[in-house]
Amino acid sequence: MDVFSAIADPLRRELLTRLAAGPARVVDLAAEHPVSRPAVSRHLRMLTEAGLVVADDVGRERHYRLLPEPLVEVRAFAASLERRPPIPESALDALDTEVRRTSRERRLAAPTHTEESA
């Protein structure tokens, strides 16, 4: 389970937010959210696989704790798309022209459309 899929589920995001306030057990999380205990257990397993959560065994209890490191990948992705200045009209025009030129060349030159790399 990758980080992006891990945080795609709303309940898992709630669980992470809850764990940000401090460790908790499966029964606690299940009591605080409208899902069964096995459901919480499996969500926690996924979060563990994503490296977002770790469990400290304390006797028969298991204290789940947030591990925010993997979120840097998410932030990096978002940042890479966000930090991009608003494209001026002139640049848009240029890109538009580029698209048209490229497509014409492709139509004239390429017999197959399954070239291996882009």
Neighbours of 44 (CB within 10 A): 21
Q: Which of 27, 38, 42, 45 binds a copy of itself (CB under 8 A)?
A: 27
Cβ of residue 113: shortest distance to a copy of itself, in angstroms? 6
Backbone angles phi and psi of 84, in degrees to 5: -155, 110
88 binds, among a copy of itself, DNA, none (CB under 5 to 8 A by kind): none
* Nearby residues of 1 by Cβ (< 8 Å), 6 or more positions away: 46, 47, 49, 50
Residue 43 exposed, middle or buried by CB count within 10 Å (0-12, 13-18, 19+): buried
Site for a copy of itself in 66-105 (CB under 8 A): 66, 68, 71-72, 74-75, 77-82, 84, 92, 95-96, 98-99, 102-103
Cβ of residue 40: shortest distance to a copy of itself, in angstroms? 13
Locate 43 and state its tokens: 């969500």
Residue 12 in the binding site for DNA (CB under 7 A): yes
- If the CB atoms of residues 35 and 74 are measured against DNA, the closer one turns out to be 35
Residue 50 in the binding site for a copy of itself (CB under 8 A): no
